Amino acid sequence: LYKNDTTLKKMTTMLPHMLKSGRVSYYGLGLYQYTFNGDIYYGHGGFWGSLIAYCPSKKITFCGNINQVNPSFKTSQLIEKLLQEF
């Protein structure tokens, strides 16, 4: 898929970044690292509550959109509940 085999390695080499909220986010080259139910996913989210992420160990791709910037619930809890089935 990529001309240079090292591109995926660069995208999945995560560096910690401190957020204003005090939480730490892990970011590579265009990808974020997410942990849901103890499994590592790589992906990217959007402003309106969209997310696409892939878990290499389970070969699962998750794609969702809630169309809300500030929902009244924790989106990570919703995603974890949905992924419990896999």
The DSSP output letter for 13 is: -
* Distance separating alpha carbons of residues 83 and 34, to the nearest angstrom: 13
Q: What is the mean pLDDT of residues 19-42?
A: 92
Q: Evaluate if residue 1 carries a pLDDT over 80.
A: no
Encode pLDDT of 37-74 as tens digits.
999 999 999 988 999 999 999 999 999 999 998 899 98
Residue that is written with structure tokens 């957020």 in the block: 19
Determine which helix (DSSP H) or strand (DSSP E) holds 8, and give its type and residue range: helix 6-12
Q: 26: which residues sit within 8 A by CB, 6+ positions away?
A: 14, 15, 16, 17, 32, 33
